[in-house]
Structure formats: C-alpha cells, structure tokens
Structure 1
Amino acid sequence: ALKDAGAGIEDVISTRVLVATTRQKDLGAAWEVVRDAFGDHDVPSTLMGVTVLGYHDQLVEIEAVAAVLDA
C-alpha cells in the first residue's frame, strides 16, 4: 500500500497494532515483528489486545499512517 501511494517505510508517522489475544506474551511477539519490519524508523505506536477482529481467524491488524508531500 505504501509503494502504491508513492511512499515508503520512512514516510510512516504512526502505527496501531491490534492483536486478538488476552495474553501479554502474544502482544510482545506481534510487537517484535512490527518493530523488526520498521528497523531504525521508530514512530509513535499503539499496541492493543482485543477480543476479536473483523475477519474469521484474523489474529493481527496493523494500521500505518504515512505522510508524503504532494508533488
């Protein structure tokens, strides 16, 4: 989605990660994957455990907000 919008990971200004779990260990595991993907590009982020997500068997949802200059 970022590429299609002419953006990259460095253009992300915030993230929200929702994990369908009540276990803190699962939250940590999901967070590690997201942080690894972003590398040194550290942005304000929210990590939340939720009871259910929108699709059957969906375990994780990641929302990333990016800002790019309109050329």
Structure 2
Amino acid sequence: MKVTIDEDKCCGAGSCVLAAPEIFDQREQDGIVILLDPEPAEDQHAAVRDAAAVCPAAAIALADG
C-alpha cells in the first residue's frame, strides 16, 4: 500500500491521527496532516483505510503496491 496526502485539501480535523497515529501526525501551527510513513506495514493497512474513510476532506489517497 502507498499513501499520499493532499495538504491543500486537508482541513486539520485530526481524524487520521486518531485512526492511525503511527502513520499520520499534524503540524503544530495549523493542524495540517503530516505523513509519517508513505508505505505502512501490512498490519497497519486496516487503520490507514479507516483513516482515509473518516477524513472529512478526502485528503488521503491509497494505492496498492
């Protein structure tokens, strides 16, 4: 799995951090998402899918590979 984020879409809700804190963080100054691991281990895939699903701005994109 490959994860990409669109910072321009991110609204800083933090839902991704709550769903997958090992993969996502937020910038201190504005809350915009920080991608910590663009190719998470298989045991993190479910959490990353959850994070993408709950993102209110659809700022997280997932691809197989």
TM-score normalized with structure 2 length: 0.31
Q: Which entry has the higher C-alpha Rg, 1 or 2?
A: 1
Higher strand share: 1
